[in-house]
Amino acid sequence: MSVLGQSFVQGFIRMCSDGWDLGWHERNGGNLSYRMKEEEVWAVEDELKTDKPWQPIGTTVPSLAGEFFLVTGSGKYMRNVQLDPEANISIIELDGKGENFRIRWGMRDGGRPTSELPSHLMNLEVKKIATNGACRVVYHAHCTNTIALTFVLPLDSKVFTRELWECATECPVVFPQGIGVVPWMVPGGRDIAVATSELMKEFDVAVWAHHGIFCAGPDFDTTFGLMHTVEKSAEILVKVLSMAPRKLQTIRPDEFRALAKDFKVSLPEKFLFEKPF
C-alpha cells in the first residue's frame, strides 16, 4: 500500500486538520511528529528514497537512533496538509547515533522538517524511555486561551495545574500528573528542547509561555484529546477571570482527593495545597 494509504498517515493528517479547525494553527503555527512502528516502516519501504543528504538534528537523541518519524514541514501550514500531504509532511530517518536525519519521503517541493524538530525528538526520546516505548506522538499547538493565561498566571507548574484542574472536573483524570510550564525562551533550538524534555519526564503537557503547548501521548486520539482538554479548561478559566475578580466556589482539595479515589488516579499532593478561591 502507498504511504498515503497507511492508517498512521491518515491519522496524522486528520490531526493536522482537526487542530486547524479549532483555530490552533494560524499561518505555519504548530507542528506534529509521530514515531513509526517497525512494521509501519516495512509497509512503506518501497516508497522510501535515499537521495537526500544527512543533516544535523541540532541535538542528540541516542535512544531514537535508526528510527523513522512522520513530521510536519517547517513553514508549512497545517490547513494544507490534508490537501497536499506529500508537499507538507515527510518521513525522516535518524542515523545510528541519533545525531543526523535524512528525508526518506515527502517534502516534494523541497524544505525541511519543523524547526521544532529538536523539541519533538527530545520529547519523544524522554517519553519512549518513561513509557517503555508506548509514547509515539508529540504535538505542538498555539492554543489561544492557554497562551492568554501565561500573561496573567504565575509561570509555575503548581499554579497552572491547579487552576486548570479546577476548571473542568475531567482534567485531573485526563492529566493526573499535572502540567509543566516553560518560561519564555527562544523557540526552535536545543535550549528550549532541553527545558521541555526535562519537564516531559514528569508531565505529558508542557506550556510554553507566550507561545503554545506541547503534548505527548501513545496515539493521535489521546494526544489530541489531551491538548483539547487543556485548552478547553483554559477557555473556561479565561471566561471566569473575565466575569469576576474571584470565584465564588470551586473544587476543593478534599473533593479532588475523593475524585482521585473513585476514578483510581493518583494526584500528587503538591497540587492540592490550601488557597483562597
Binding residues vs ligand 13P (CB under 6 A): 28-31, 72, 74-75, 114-116, 140, 187
Task: Single out the residue of 134, 261, 254, 116 nearest to residue 204, CA to CA.
Answer: 134
Q: Which is nearer to Zn ion, 210 or 270 (CB)?
A: 210
Does 116 qualify as catalytic in the annotation?
yes
Q: Which is nearer to ligand 13P, 140 or 162 (CB)?
A: 140
The catalytically annotated residue of 40, 67, 93, 116 is 116
**C-beta of 259: minimal distance to ligand 13P in Å?**
34
Cβ atoms of 30 and 24 closer than 8 Å: yes
**C-beta of 194: minimal distance to ligand 13P in Å?**
16
**C-beta of 207: minimal distance to Zn ion in Å?**
12
Task: Single out the residue of 50, 56, 15, 48 nearest to residue 33, CA to CA.
Answer: 15
Name the residues that contact Zn ion, by CB under 5 A: 212
31 binds, among Zn ion, ligand 13P, none (CB under 5 to 8 A by kind): ligand 13P
* Dihedral over Cα of 80, 219, 170, 127: its sign: negative
Residue with nearest beta carbon to Zn ion: 212
Cβ atoms of 224 and 18 closer than 8 Å: yes
* CA–CA separation, 189 and 174 (whole Å): 29
Q: Which is nearer to Zn ion, 176 or 212 (CB)?
A: 212
Give the contacts of 242 (CB within 8 A, at least 6 positions apart): none
Return the active site residues: 116
